[in-house]
Homo-oligomer: A and B are copies of this chain.
Amino acid sequence: MIKENLLLDFGAKKDLYSKGDQLFNEGDAAVNYYQVASGEIKMNNYNLDGKEFIQGIFSVGESFGEPPLFANVKYPANAEAITDSEVIILSKEKFFQLLTSNPEVHLEVTETLARRLYYKAIMASEISSQEPEHRILRILDYLKKHVHKVEGKFSFKVDLTRQQIADLTGLRVETVIRATKALEKKGELKIKERKVYR
């Protein structure tokens, strides 16, 4: 996260998006730095049979879509507003100016990328093989520990639908529903008013 004032100093603008709006699409060239000011943005892919895969969900303070700015590649996924959202946008050129004149911010950005890489590395190995129950627990544990940063049993209320969990894990809704029930029976998680707690 880069301080809002600093971004505005370098000419960033705030944009409003309504639920369902697309910010950019897979294959687009990357020309901006994006940071969530309010609401939630998801990055996702749709594969050939129309099935969605959610790369990540970004909330207030989090940036997204920076890697292609550095790597000079096209966006590997789409960005879509999950809820009505405000997003701070800074052009690529000005973003790099900002980094050059603020090395400590550059280091923070690198750290952000490193953290995301860490997440992807873990998910890659978990998703590749493990059974459904394993995949679900790993995703939930990651969100609990690294995104929402809460501790204690069942202290994390998972604010995702079964469908979204499916899209994060590459499973099917029915499988997620059955697996979460099985996990509740095993005491790995709680289900209260249809919401999952971990």
The interface stretch among A2-10, A85-93, A109-117, A179-187 is A109-117
Q: What 1/0 flags go to A61-96 for Cβ under 8 Å of B?
A: 000001111110100110000000000000000000
Given the known interface contacts A66-B114, A110-B109, the answer about A127 and B128 at a Cβ–Cβ threshold of 8 Å is yes
- Contact partners of A127 in chain B: CB under 8 A: 124, 127-128, 170
Q: Is A45 engaged at the interface, CB distance under 8 Å to the other chain?
A: yes
Instruction: Tell whether, in the assembled complex, residue B169 and residue A118 are in contact, meaning their CB atoms are under 8 Å apart.
Output: no
Number of A residues, CB within 8 Å of B: 43
A71 engages B114 (CB within 8 Å): yes
Q: Mind listing 11 A-B residue pairs with CB under 8 Å?
A: A53-B129, A68-B114, A70-B110, A70-B111, A71-B114, A73-B115, A76-B122, A99-B107, A109-B110, A120-B124, A127-B170
